[in-house]
């Protein structure tokens, strides 16, 4: 029967049993005791010592002394059970874990209600192995760094000559990881040489901020499961039967919670076995009997604390090297001294146009990752600089007024016979053109027979010259422009405009400008000039240069000048022209009282705007009521001019008139003086050449001369078988003297018929030639006949051409030009 004892000062509450108790094998519920132990046999005396074997003892004392109810013990081996017997019952004090001492143990109460006096005690112990351990924590820190580089601003747009500072920012982000080591020694002892052998060890590590456990194991059998290395030392004074050095090596990369752990606990569980019990009681009784191996498990704990500082720390310092800066290390960060931000300006601001384009700046960071290793990181920032410019262009349009002067010139065209060496005629003949070889004459004297005519040819010309130029000025535009997105500041607000002349003088111009727009400024200007000043016009506009800080705040830092193109002062056509063109008209008989009666005229050119010249002949006025031809007729002579003592001449005046805008008309006159000598006393008329008579027959082409009617163009010429006209048209091929004489003979006959006087020599030549032609054919003569014909032809030619006789009649150059 179990009786529960009272509450006394013992460290454990006993279990009370009735009956007797003899030894450790009587332990209730235990069965065979595999440990050691013995019974005192009787009540121990105060301080009595019992030998437990192997030098181990247990000593009993009563507490307090002087009584027998309460007893205590002190043993060198931990006790598992103490049994106190008194009266008819006993108390079993079970210590788990076993202890080396206790006091005030007692037996069950007797009838008095107090514990019975101690009759004897039994002590039961199992000499267990012990396990102990140490745990020491240390850690190493590894810090890696990430870099981020930026720049303010990233995009810059400037005018040329402007500058802009930028600010670079390098931000570093440290990422720290740590490797943790918890290490120590596990020691298993058999302190009482009981024969224990360790068979298994399980060591578990747990940190104080996470439930995760990390195990290391060892078994006596060994094998792949072993993660713990242990050794069984030889017999030693410390009774060590197993020694294990362990080390847990963990990284925060795998277990981030380690970064906030401050410590933890390391617990080891050890399993040991003993082959049999030993007999070691001092009373000579046997110990526990041999049986199956004893198994004992034990634990040991070791608290550990993670030091505040690592044993090694790598990456505590980040060294920065910037590609733009000169030093090998331009800046550094120390771990724990954040924020990790480095700001710095560019050593020199960006300037346009020198720095146009992209500019990439790199930063490299390095740090230690181990005793002999390092880590690196890179980043870059790019600034794009766009440069703009101001352009200025200008135009220059000159203007002026011009007044022209005109010089008319009227000439009479005369053949060489009429004009060469004559007063008022040019010294040299006309070269080229229809009147090649003719002469130009201011005035001309002509000789005609009564009824004759002269087809006049006039040379009209006018030379235009510049009389004056006034009102010179230059006008134009000045255009200043720039790209959108930027705004220039000009000082002064408008361009400076200057005229530069070839004589190295200048003239300032004041432009008039509108309001400055988003992308342009437009101006106009006008400047009066003192004359035709050659040179150019150039404009300059000054822009205030800007120097910007990294935040875009601008300050003035000088000026930049922009120069326009050099707009040349080109003087083309005047803006206003006076007398640029004139009306050219021709007027006959502008002098009243001359024999032509009322004058008549015509418009030569309605508008003449440049130098001009032309020959005028033929019919110039179809009006039948006035003279219709420029042909001068001998019949124009007045009766008052005819007779003895008279002049037998009349004048034909002709005027070229140039009518101008401003009324400053100009004119020039040419006068023909026509002589008709036969109408005067003792005058013998004049002679024409064979060419005249050849062209003035009824067959033309010149006007018909009525003298031909006295002979007849179709009259047979002697025995030639040809008419007079046909003989005139037959050239003297091969020098045929017959036709050479015939041509001069016929001309002389017609001149005489027209009234021209002769000389005796000429009259004889005509008579001899008449006799020579009579009965002769047109075959070419030979010998003396030929010589005679040539001599007569030469004499008559001199008569016909005015060398002898009354003189040559004037012939129009038209006849010569037509080869007649």
Q: What is the CATH number of the domain that holds 482?
A: 2.60.40
- Which residues are registered as beta bridge partners of 83? 92, 122
- 681: in domain: no
- 52: in domain: yes
* DSSP string across 614-635: EEEES-----TTS---SEEEGG
pLDDT value for 494: 96
Query: Same domain for 83 and 22?
Result: yes
**pLDDT for 819 beyond 70:** no
Distance (Å, rounded) from C-alpha 214 to C-alpha 266? Answer: 9
Least confident of 46-60, 166-180, 448-462, 782-796: 448-462
pLDDT value for 818: 57
**3-state DSSP call for residue 689?**
coil
- 402: in domain: no
Looking at the structure of the chain, the number of domains it has is 4
Residue located via tokens 């024999």 = 595
CB atoms within 10 A of CB 328: 7
Task: Report the alpha-carbon angle 78-80-86, nearest 5.
Answer: 115
**pLDDT for 549 beyond 80:** yes
Query: Same domain for 695 and 795?
Result: yes
Which whole-number Å values give the CA distances from 352 to 161, 167, 267, 323, in the listed order? 5, 18, 73, 22
Helical packing angle, 737-753 and 783-800, nearest 10°: 30
pLDDT value for 618: 59
- 714: in domain: yes
Query: Same domain for 490 and 523?
Result: yes
Whether the bond between 153 and the residue before it is cis, its omega within 30 degrees of 0, is: yes
**3-state DSSP call for residue 749?**
helix
Query: Same domain for 89 and 141?
Result: no
Query: Same domain for 47 and 100?
Result: yes
In angstroms, how far is CA 657 from the centroid of its own chain?
68
Whether the bond between 664 and the residue before it is cis, its omega within 30 degrees of 0, is: no
Which whole-number Å values give the CA distances from 440 to 204, 248, 415, 464, 585, in the listed order? 144, 137, 9, 21, 20
Beta pairing, strands 48-53 & 130-133: unpaired
Distance (Å, rounded) from C-alpha 383 to C-alpha 134? Answer: 61
Distance (Å, rounded) from C-alpha 3 to C-alpha 5? Answer: 6
- 447: which 2 tokens? 């000789």
- Which residues are registered as beta bridge partners of 584? 605, 658
pLDDT value for 3: 39
pLDDT tens, 81-130? 999 999 999 999 999 989 999 999 999 999 888 999 999 999 999 998 99
Q: Provide mean pLDDT across the span 770-799.
A: 95
- 731: in domain: yes
Helices (H), 411-466: 416-419
**pLDDT for 681 beyond 70:** no
Q: Backbone dihedral region of 786: left (phi > 0), alpha (psi from -120 to 50 degrees) or beta? A: alpha
Distance (Å, rounded) from C-alpha 692 to C-alpha 688? Answer: 6
**3-state DSSP call for residue 743?**
helix
Distance (Å, rounded) from C-alpha 747 to C-alpha 739? Answer: 12
Q: Provide mean pLDDT across the span 41-52.
A: 95
Q: Do 266 and 204 form a contact (C-beta atoms < 8 A)?
A: yes
pLDDT value for 149: 97
Distance (Å, rounded) from C-alpha 769 to C-alpha 705? Answer: 24
- Which residues are registered as beta bridge partners of 189? 130, 240
Nearest of 464, 782, 809 to residue 608 by alpha carbon: 464
- 244: in domain: yes
**pLDDT classification of 704: cutoffs 50, 70, 90:** confident
Distance (Å, rounded) from C-alpha 162 to C-alpha 351? Answer: 6
pLDDT value for 279: 36
Q: Which of the 8 DSSP states describes residue 532?
A: -
pLDDT value for 8: 52
**pLDDT classification of 356: cutoffs 50, 70, 90:** very high
Distance (Å, rounded) from C-alpha 435 to C-alpha 444? Answer: 16
Nearest of 102, 106, 39, 101 to residue 69 by alpha carbon: 106
pLDDT value for 283: 37
- 810: in domain: no
- 98: in domain: yes
pLDDT value for 705: 86
pLDDT value for 811: 84
Query: Same domain for 141 and 69?
Result: no
pLDDT tens, 505-524? 999 999 999 999 999 999 99
Higher pLDDT, residue 287 or 225: 225
**pLDDT for 365 beyond 70:** yes
pLDDT value for 2: 40
Q: Do 245 and 179 form a contact (C-beta atoms < 8 A)?
A: no
Residue located via tokens 């004090």 = 93
Distance (Å, rounded) from C-alpha 136 to C-alpha 306? Answer: 8
> How high is the mean pLDDT of the chain?
90
As to burial, measured by CB atoms within 10 angstroms (0-12 exposed, 13-18 middle, 19+ buried), residue 621 is: middle
Q: Which of the 8 DSSP states describes residue 808?
A: B
Q: Provide mean pLDDT across the span 63-80.
A: 93
Query: Same domain for 105 and 237?
Result: no
Helical packing angle, 783-800 and 760-773, nearest 10°: 140
Whether the bond between 339 and the residue before it is cis, its omega within 30 degrees of 0, is: yes
Which whole-number Å values give the CA distances from 35 to 39, 241, 281, 290, 471, in the listed order? 14, 19, 11, 10, 145
Query: Same domain for 142 and 249?
Result: yes
- 552: which 2 tokens? 């875009």
End-to-end CA distance of the chain: 191
pLDDT value for 291: 59
**pLDDT classification of 629: cutoffs 50, 70, 90:** low
Query: Same domain for 212 and 270?
Result: yes
As to burial, measured by CB atoms within 10 angstroms (0-12 exposed, 13-18 middle, 19+ buried), residue 573 is: exposed
Nearest of 312, 317, 313, 260 to residue 145 by alpha carbon: 317
Query: Same domain for 726 and 752?
Result: yes
Query: Same domain for 75 and 188?
Result: no
Q: Do 541 and 481 form a contact (C-beta atoms < 8 A)?
A: no
**pLDDT for 551 beyond 70:** yes
Share of the chain above pLDDT 90, in %: 71
Query: Same domain for 190 and 68?
Result: no
> In which domain, by residue range, is 51 found?
15-126
Nearest of 152, 153, 154, 149 to residue 172 by alpha carbon: 149
Q: Provide mean pLDDT across the span 17-39.
A: 90
pLDDT value for 179: 96
Whether the bond between 701 and the residue before it is cis, its omega within 30 degrees of 0, is: yes
Length of the chain: 820
pLDDT value for 175: 94
Q: Provide mean pLDDT across the span 684-703.
A: 88
In angstroms, how far is CA 598 from the centroid of its own chain?
84
- 405: which 2 tokens? 């002067």
Distance (Å, rounded) from C-alpha 273 to C-alpha 195? Answer: 8
Higher pLDDT, residue 456 or 624: 456
**3-state DSSP call for residue 789?**
helix
pLDDT tens, 449-495? 887 788 888 999 999 999 899 999 999 999 999 999 999 999 999 99
């Amino acid at each position: 029967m179990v009786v529960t004892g009272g509450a006394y000062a013992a460290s454990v509450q006993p279990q009370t049993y009735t009956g007797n108790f003899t030894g450790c094998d009587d332990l209730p519920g235990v069965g065979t005791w595999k440990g050691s132990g013995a019974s005192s046999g009787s009540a121990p005396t105060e301080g009595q010592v019992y030998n437990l074997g192997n030098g181990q003892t247990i000593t009993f004392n009563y507490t307090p002394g002087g009584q027998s109810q309460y007893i205590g013990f002190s043993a060198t081996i931990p006790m598992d059970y103490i049994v106190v017997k008194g009266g008819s019952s006993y108390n079993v004090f079970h210590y788990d874990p076993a202890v080396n001492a206790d006091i005030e143990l007692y037996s069950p109460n007797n009838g008095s209600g107090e514990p019975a006096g101690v009759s004897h005690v039994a002590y039961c112990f199992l000499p267990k192995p012990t396990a102990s351990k140490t745990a020491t924590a240390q850690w190493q820190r590894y810090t890696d760094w990430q870099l981020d580089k930026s720049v303010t601003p990233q995009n810059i747009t400037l005018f040329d000559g402007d500058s802009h500072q930028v600010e670079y920012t390098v931000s570093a982000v440290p990422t720290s990881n740590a490797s943790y080591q918890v290490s120590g020694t596990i020691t298993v002892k058999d302190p009482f040489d009981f024969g224990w052998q360790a068979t298994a060890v399980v060591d578990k590590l747990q940190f104080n901020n996470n439930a995760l456990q990390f195990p290391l194991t060892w078994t006596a059998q060994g094998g792949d499961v072993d993660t713990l290395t242990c050794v069984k030392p030889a017999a030693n004074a410390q009774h060590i039967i197993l020694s294990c050095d362990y080390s847990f090596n963990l990284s925060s990369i795998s277990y981030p919670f380690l970064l906030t752990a401050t410590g933890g606990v390391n617990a080891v569980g050890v399993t040991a076995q003993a082959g049999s019990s030993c007999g070691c009681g001092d009373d000579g009784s046997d110990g526990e009997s041999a049986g199956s191996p004893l198994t004992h498990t034990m634990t040991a704990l070791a608290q550990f604390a993670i030091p505040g500082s690592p044993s090694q720390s790598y990456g505590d310092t980040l060294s920065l090297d910037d590609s733009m800066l000169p030093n090998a290390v331009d800046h550094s960060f120390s771990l724990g001294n954040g924020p990790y931000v480095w700001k710095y300006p560019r050593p020199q601001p960006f300037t346009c146009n020198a720095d146009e384009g992209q500019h990439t700046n790199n930063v490299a960071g390095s740090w230690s990752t181990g005793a002999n290793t390092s880590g690196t990181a890179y980043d870059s920032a790019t600034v794009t600089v766009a440069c703009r410019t101001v352009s200025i262009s200008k135009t220059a349009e000159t203007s002026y007024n011009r007044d022209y002067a005109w010089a008319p010139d009227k000439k009479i065209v005369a053949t060489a016979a009429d004009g060469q060496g004559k007063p008022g005629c040019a010294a040299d003949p006309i070269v080229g053109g229809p009147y090649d070889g003719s002469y130009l004459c201011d005035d001309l004297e002509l000789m005609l027979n009564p009824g004759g005519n002269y087809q006049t040819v006039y040379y009209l010309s006018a030379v235009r010259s510049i009389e004056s130029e006034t009102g010179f000025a230059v006008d134009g535009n000045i255009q200043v422009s720039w790209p959108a997105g930027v705004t220039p500041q000009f000082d002064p607000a408008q361009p400076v405009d200057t005229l530069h002349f070839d004589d190295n003088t200048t003239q300032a111009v004041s432009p008039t400008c509108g309001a400055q727009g988003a992308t342009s400024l437009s101006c106009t200007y006008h400047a009066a000039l003192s004359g035709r000043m050659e040179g150019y016009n150039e404009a300059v506009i000054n822009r205030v240069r800007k120097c910007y800080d990294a935040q875009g705040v601008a300050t003035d830092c000088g000026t930049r000048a922009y120069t326009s193109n050099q707009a040349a002062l080109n003087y083309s056509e005047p803006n206003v022209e006076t007398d640029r063109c004139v009306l050219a008209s021709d007027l006959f008989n502008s002098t009243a009282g001359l024999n032509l009666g009322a004058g008549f005229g015509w418009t030569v050119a309605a508008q003449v705007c440049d130098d001009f010249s032309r020959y005028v002949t033929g019919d110039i006025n179809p009006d039948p009521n006035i003279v219709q031809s420029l042909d001068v007729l001998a019949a124009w002579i007045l009766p008052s001019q005819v007779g003895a003592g008279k002049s037998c001449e009349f004048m034909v005046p002709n005027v070229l008139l140039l009518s101008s805008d401003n009324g400053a008309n100009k004119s020039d006159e040419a006068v023909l003086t026509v002589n008709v000598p036969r109408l005067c006393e003792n005058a013998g008329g004049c002679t024409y050449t064979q060419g005249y008579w050849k062209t003035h027959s009824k067959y033309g082409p010149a006007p018909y001369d009525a003298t031909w009617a006295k002979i007849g163009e179709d009259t047979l010429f002697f025995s030639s078988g040809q008419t007079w006209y046909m003989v005139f048209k037959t050239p003297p091929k091969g020098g045929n003297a017959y036709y050479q004489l015939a041509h001069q003979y016929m001309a002389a006959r017609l001149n005489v018929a027209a009234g021209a006087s002769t000389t005796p020599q000429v009259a004889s030549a005509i008579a001899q030639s008449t006799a020579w032609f009579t009965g002769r054919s047109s075959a070419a003569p030979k010998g003396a006949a030929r010589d005679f014909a040539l001599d007569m032809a030469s004499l008559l030619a001199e008569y016909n051409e005015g060398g002898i006789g009354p003189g040559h009649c004037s012939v129009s150059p038209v006849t010569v030009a037509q080869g007649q």
